[in-house]
Each structure stands twice: as structure tokens, then as C-alpha cells.
Amino acid sequence: MAGALEPQAQVNSGSGWLILRDLVLAAVVVILIWLGLGILRSETMLSGLGPFVGKLVQALVALAVGVVGIWALFIVVNSLVEYLPARATNAIRPFVFVLPAIAVVSLYLVFPAVGTIIQSFTEVPEGEGLLYNYAQAFSDPKLLLALRNNAIWLVLAPAGALLIGLTFAGLVDRIKREALAKIFIFLPLCISGAGAAVIWRFVYEWRPPGRPQIGILNAIVTLFGGDPIPWLQEIPTNTLALVVVMIWLQAGFAMVILSAAIKGVPTELVEAARIDGAGEFQTFVRVVLPSIRGSMITVFTTIAIAVLKVFDIVYVTTNGNFDTDVIANRMFNEMFRFRNFGFATALAVILFLAVVPIMVVNVRNLRQQGIGV
Amino acid sequence: MRNRTWLLVVVCLAVIVAACGDGGAGTTTAAPGTTAAPGTTAGSATTAAAGTTAATGEPTGYAELDQAMAGDFAGTTVEIVAQWVEGEAENFNASLDPFREATGIDVQYEGLTDYELTLQTRVDGNDAPDLAQIAQPGKMISYASEGQLVDISPWFNTDKLVEEQVGGFFELTQFDGGVYGVYYKTDVKSIVWYPVEPFEAAGYTIPTTWDEMTALSDQIIADGNGNPWCIGIESEAADGWVATDWIEDIVLRTAGVDFYNQWWKHEVPFNSPEVLAAAEEMASIWFAPDYVYGGNVAINATNIRDVANPMFDPAGPQCWFQKQAAWIPEFWPGNRDVSDRSQWANPPGEASSFFYLPGIDPAVGNPVLGAGDMFVMFTDGDRPEVRALLEYLATPQGAQAWIELGGFISPNTTVPVEWYTSYPNTELVPILNNADSFGFDASDLMPAEVGAGSFWTGMVDWVAANGEGTEEIFQSIEDGWPAG
């Protein structure tokens, strides 16, 4: 690629002929890409080739446009920029390379986000004001319940994961088979939320009294002579039961980050505390913890963001029944089941607004630690 | 470095091929259409002969169909679409073959995948077929209100339709003073499964009235034979729909189909006194002590697929009745995960059979709950040959081949019962033919916010409360009915 660029630099002397050649080249590339996209867009052009060959040709065209085409576009645009005065070239060239990325991000991230916000105000029944969807949201008792549940999740899940992760990181810090011990806490992190929910559904499974309990929790309860408890039906046990799934998923993440942070605490500091007569526990609480404060905030906020968006665990276990609904689940139902785009987008915006402050804390904290974001 | 570049290219290619795979599915919907050539194979000719003897011999009662049978429209083309593809498309084509043979009309059938969306796209793009199958009466109403459909009442012999079909189907095709469809296919939901051998061994007899059914339930409890009812409404993201079917069945039985149709159209409040009374009737089974296996907690905790497990308990039935449509035996223990039906441990019709969920109010009679498919005519299709095909589809011959191949129930009661050869349709058809009225699954007809939303979750809440607070729960469903 570099070889292709260098000759262009040499002809910077400004032959009009060469400029014309490059302009034509650029036009040809643009036209070819356009034609390629036309083939991809057309439903009929490739249908004569049969399903397999048609698809293969489609793939090759996509590859040609997506990889070779973009590459060629970079080269010709770059060579055109070369003809500009040196200062202009230097000023513009970075944008030649960055613009496509910005364009893609705008198209797939900024555009839908702005669209969502606009839709949440405009998708209202005729004669209603701009804030109709939001007014509906905050007057719907079931949604207020979902908001309350999100708040419960927001407090308990990150705190629980942090506490367990921290305890474990502290306990295994200097034992022999530390890595092995950590794997067991870390493993759930590899499981998707939906997968974890399926596993925990079995853990919480309830069968009528007298039947064999296939859920481990109720098997234990009945072993000690108790009646099986419908964990996912009883309020408020069920919401707590779901939070436990999240903690189980996220504790590994907390442990890994905090374990690394604990190892980063200077040995001199810990030894100095010991010499001063501090016990193991006191050292941990008074010296280690304050030193890893930044990492703890990172862990807490990161999990908090994941928790606010929680959907899969609730959807798979209770589908929001028995007072366990959360905003993201309601949003899904409104969007894909009831086709209430206005209400669903309003919920998306509410969720977005709730995440922003946590995000700000998170980013600011990372900056303080010298990690530029 | 070079190696990595190649790796990148390969990955990109893989991603693109995968992406095209998804996109391709949408664009190849035209492919099944090629199978729609008129049936001229030797095999279809024989069924054609059988089908047309009845049709050509005497007048059919339909004007255009008689003309077509006389060959008046030979050489014309009719385009018809439905959601039936593959095996079902073959069966439907086999039903169309006698018409093709007898009339010389080129009927081009196309089975569309992603049916509702594809049809909507074609209609929006001024490319509507002549005739189209519609599963949701609400969809017919929306097409009709847009002026896309032909009101068939001026020329279609609707009296014959009303006379031949089970009451209730015709009403579903009416809209704004016109008639916009003809029912072709249906199913029956109002059945209760029971374990045959233990049932007979215990000396029980099949209840024919609601009171007999509750008396039998009491007797099962008194005999110490466990609980009479197996009920579970857990169904992943659709928890509660089983309960909505119960309410619907009972509203049909206590308030009648006319009220029922007003109810799902929301011409009367969702929580009308009739509906609350039906809920009370339901509660007298669902929440009565010892009536349901495991009580209300089990109802909410048991997945639909596991409901019948205690019915087939090795120690004898722990519960005896499961109200569910004819597909449920697939999920019974010893049947699930066994693809070869002849290997099923609990084959339906032998290990277990079903009876009709009895009527309640004699004045209302015996209704059935179900769903069905109708055909509608788009405005471009208003030609005599298209009318003839629509009329043909209303006759027994229009479905004969499919009925004989199995998996099809006709709403037309004049279809000879001996055409039905395979279980469970042999048992379901008499129930349908004896029915006094047909109610279309209401939760499928209500707006999704209710029919797939608050009605479901309301039922879950109601069960969780063990039948307490009925009025509040039904009131909140009514309050949440979307405006307009």
C-alpha cells in the first residue's frame, strides 16, 4: 500500500494531465462502487443464477465493494489530496482516513439514537402533546413498579458483586493455587445472561410438595423437612432471587479487577502497616482498601450500567410477572410485542438518561487513574 | 503480516456470506411460486377425476362456479397466495387440481414465507394477488377498511355458506355491512384430554354436561384418586395464554357467541358482568380446594409441556384432565423427543383420548373455540374466474384432497365425515359439526397490548392471588385497553 502512495508524492510538481488522470480514476472508483451496491440492492439481477451461485456472486461483489473498493477509494482520494498545497494536505489527510469511521459510527449509532429520541416525542396519538409518552410512562403503575425494581437491582447487584469479588480477591491473594480458585468465580462471566437465567431457573425450580424436587434449592429445603418454596413467585423473594443471578454473573469480573488492584498496592505500604502493628484485617481495611478505591468505583459503576440494562435474566425467568418487571423488559414488550414505538422509545430514552450519570462517574474515575477515555 | 491480512479477508468473506444468507431468505420467496404450475401429473389426474364427478354432475349452487365447470373461463389465470409451503403447499395444490382439470383455468398457487409481511408488501406495492389466505380476522378488517378487498355479498351465495358452515365463521367475515371472506380451514380447541385406561378402570364415564364434569371432579377427589385437573400456564414469554383460552371457552358457553364477538371487538367492556361471571365459573374449578394438581402455585409454576406429567405417573394418574388443543400429545412424557410417532409411549387415542369440554348454559348450546383461515379477494381479482375459484373453495370438493391427506378440518359441515381418516381429526370433526357456534380465539383478535399483554399477565396475577381480586384485575385490563 505504501508503494502505491509514494509515486504520487513525486509527481506533486503539478502536471494537469496527472490531476485529470487521478480525477478520472476517482470517478471510476466511485462509479464502480455505486454499481456494486446497485447489484447488492437489486433483488432480480442475481436471481437467475440460482440460490447458491447467486449468493456466492453476491458475497464476492460485497467483498469487492467492501474491501477492494474502499481501499481503492482511500488511495485515489489520498492521491488527490496530495495535489493540494502541503499545509492543506497535512490538514485534510487525517480526515480522509477518519471520516469513513465517523460516518459509520454516525450512521449506526448517532442516527438511530437521535431518531429514537425524536420518535419518543413525536410518536403520540393524534391531539396529544410531545410529552405524552413520558406522562404515560410515569403514570403507569406497572412501570413505576419496574422503576422501583430497577432501583433495587441498582443498589443490590453491584454492591453484592463488589462485596463477593472483593472478599474473594482478598482471601485468595496469597494462597498457592490462586488461579485455580479464581477460575470458579470467574467462570460464570463467560455465560450469557440468558444462559445464566436458564441455569438458575433450574436452581429455583418448584414442584408440588411430595413430588421429587428437581431444583437444588427446594431439594435442600425439603431435605430439612420444609415445604418447597416457589422462589420465582413469592414477592419480594423473587426479585432478590433474580438479583442473585446477576451477582453470580458479575462477581468474577469484580474479583479479577480488584485482585489485580490489590496486587498493585505497594508492598512497602503493607509492610509498613504491619511493622506499625496492624493485623491482617486492619491492614486490608485501612491500607489496601483506600488504595484500590478507584478500581472499586470502576467495578461498581460498570456493573451498575449492566444492571440498569438488565433484560435477559428477567425475560427468561419470570418475563416480568409476579412484580419482577424491569424497564428493559417492558421496553422489549412494548416494542416487539405491542408495536408501541412511541412508548418503547420513551422508555429507551429514560433508560439512557439513567445510565448517563453513572457513565460520567465511571469515565471521570478512569481519567483520574490515568486511563484516557 | 501477510498471513494476518489473508485471515482478515477470510473472516470478512465469512461474515459477508453469513449476512447474505440471512438476506437471501427474504429474496428467494418467489421460488415456491414455480411449483404452482397447473397439476398435470398422472397422480393428480386420478384425484381430479374423483373430485369432479361430484362437482360437474349437478349444479354447485354457485353461479360462477357452474359457468367455470362448463368451461366458460378456460385459458384464464388466477393467482392465489397463502402461508402454506412445502408439504402443506402440495396438499393445497392437490385440492386445487380438480378445479384446474375441470375448468381449464390456470390456478397459480404461491406459498409465501414470512406470509403476513410479504402479503402486506405486495398489497402496498400494488401487486396484490387475486385471492389470499388470511389467518387473522383483524387483518381482513384492516384490508377491507382500506378498500383493498371485494365485498362478495352481491354475487356470492352467502345463504348457502351460512347454511353449510358452523355458526360463527360467517360472522367473522362480515365488516361494515359487507362480506369480505370465505372460511376454508379451521381447528378445534375446546377439548379435554384424559388417561383412557385408568379412567375406565375406575369406572368413570365421560361427562356430557358441565355439572357432570364437576361432579366427576368431586368424585375423583372423594375416591382418593388425586386431583382431577392438570393445569399449568407457564409458557416462557407467553405465560398465561392457557388461562385466556379457558376464559374464552367459558364466555362462549355462558354468554353466547354474539356477546363473545362484541367482547373481543370491545363493543362491550372487557370486564362486563358476563365476563366476570365466566371468571367465577372458571375459579370454581381452578381455585377450588384439591381440584388442581399442586394448587395455584403449580398452575403458575408448571410449564405447558410438563402439565400432563402427573397424568402419566407410573403410580397412576395424579391428575386426570388436561384442557388443551390436539397438538399437546407431542409434549407428553414418553412422547417428547421421540420423532417417530409410532414409538410414542403415550399415543393419543390409546393411552389418552379427549372429550368435548361440555356446554354450560343449555340456551347457548355447545360452542367450540378455535382459529381458522379464510380467503379474501383483492379488488383487482374481481373477475368471473376468480369468483369461481373462491366459490370452489367454499365447497367440500375444494378441500377434499387435503382432508383425505390429513391435517385439515373444514368448517363446512356438509363434508362427508368418512373423508376424514386420521386421528385426531376423526374425533374433532364430529365435535365441530355438532357445535352450535364457533368462537375465534379472542386473545388473538384483541389488540396485542391486551391479547398478548395485559390479558396474559392479568391471568398470571389472578392465579398468583388464588382467584382473589377478580374485579380489580379485570378492571385493570379494561383500563389498559388501547385507545382508538
**B2 assigned to some structural domain:** no
- Using a CB-CB cut-off of 8 Å, the residues of chain A touching B240 are 321
Pair B292, B256 in one domain:
yes
**B25 assigned to some structural domain:** no
Cβ–Cβ pairs < 8 A, chains A and B: 79
The alpha-carbon gap from A55 to the nearest alpha carbon of chain B, in Å, equals 7
- A interface with B, Cβ–Cβ < 8 A, is 43, 47, 51, 54-56, 58-59, 62-63, 66-67, 125, 206-208, 211, 230, 232-233, 315-316, 319-322, 333, 337-340
Domain that holds residue B48: 35-187+371-414
DSSP B422-453: STTHHHHHHHHHH-SEEEE-HHHHS-HHIIII
| Domain CATH for B350 | 3.40.190.10
Angle at A362 between CA A357 and CA A367, to 5 degrees: 125
Given B240, B453, B460, which is nearest A333 (Cβ)?
Answer: B453
Q: How far is B343 from B365, CA to CA, in rounded Å?
A: 39
DSSP letter (8 states) at residue B123: H
Q: Is the dihedral of CA B2, B8, B9, B10 positive or negative?
A: positive
Could you tell me the pTM of the whole model?
A: 0.80
Backbone phi, psi, residue A300, to 5°: -60, -50
The alpha-carbon gap from B460 to the nearest alpha carbon of chain A, in Å, equals 7
pLDDT of amino acid A52: 82
Pair B226, B309 in one domain:
yes
CATH 1.10.3720.10 region(s) of chain A?
135-368
pLDDT above 50 for B369: yes
- Residues B91 and B337: beta-carbon distance below 8 Å: no
pLDDT of amino acid A13: 52
Could you give the number of structural domains in chain B? Answer: 2
* Helix B2-27 and helix A51-63, axial crossing angle in degrees, nearest 10: 130
**B325 assigned to some structural domain:** yes
Pair B228, B245 in one domain:
yes
pLDDT of amino acid A371: 66
Pair B168, B311 in one domain:
no
Rg (chain A; Cα; Å)? 29
B237 and A319 within 8 Å at the Cβ level: the answer is yes
**B50 assigned to some structural domain:** yes
pLDDT in tens, B292-301: 999 999 999 9
ipTM: 0.77
The alpha-carbon gap from A78 to the nearest alpha carbon of chain B, in Å, equals 22
Pair B196, B179 in one domain:
no
Pair B77, B223 in one domain:
no
pLDDT in tens, B41-59: 333 333 433 344 344 457 8
- Residues A204 and A229: beta-carbon distance below 8 Å: no
- Residues B144 and B175: beta-carbon distance below 8 Å: yes
Amino acid residing at B425: N
- Residues B62 and B182: beta-carbon distance below 8 Å: no
- Following CA atoms A169, A175, A177, A183 in sequence, which dihedral angle do they give, to the nearest 10 degrees? -10
pLDDT of amino acid B2: 46
Given B237, B457, B483, which is nearest A125 (Cβ)?
Answer: B483
pLDDT above 80 for B281: yes
Residue of B nearest to A60 (CA): B13
pLDDT above 80 for B380: yes
**B103 assigned to some structural domain:** yes
pLDDT in tens, B448-484: 889 989 999 999 999 999 999 999 999 999 998 987 6
| Nearest of B372, B379, B389 to residue B123 by alpha carbon | B379
pLDDT band, residue A373 (cuts 50/70/90): low
Q: Please determine, looking at this structure, whether the domain spanning A135-368 carries the CATH number 1.10.3720.10.
A: yes
B448 touches chain A (CB under 8 A): yes
**B1 assigned to some structural domain:** no
pLDDT above 50 for B66: yes
Residue of A nearest to B16 (CA): A59
**B243 assigned to some structural domain:** yes
The alpha-carbon gap from A356 to the nearest alpha carbon of chain B, in Å, equals 30
A230 and B297 within 8 Å at the Cβ level: the answer is yes
pLDDT in tens, A72-101: 988 888 888 888 888 888 888 888 888 888
B483 touches chain A (CB under 8 A): yes
A319 and B300 within 8 Å at the Cβ level: the answer is no
User: Could you give the percent of chain A with pLDDT greater than 70?
Assistant: 95
pLDDT in tens, B288-345: 999 999 999 999 999 999 999 999 999 999 999 999 999 999 999 999 888 888 899 9
- Looking at per-residue pLDDT, the higher value among B461 and A11 belongs to B461
Which of B379, B414, B449 delimits the end of a domain? B414
pLDDT of amino acid B6: 54
pLDDT above 50 for B30: no
A319 and B239 within 8 Å at the Cβ level: the answer is yes
pLDDT in tens, A270-326: 999 999 988 888 999 999 999 999 999 999 999 999 999 999 999 999 999 999 999
Residue of A nearest to B306 (CA): A207
DSSP letter (8 states) at residue B60: -
A208 and B293 within 8 Å at the Cβ level: the answer is yes
**Mean pLDDT, residues B237-260 taken together:** 95
Mean pLDDT, chain A, whole residue set = 89
**B19 assigned to some structural domain:** no
Q: For chain A, report the end-to-end CA distance as a whole number of angstroms.
A: 31
Pair B393, B453 in one domain:
no
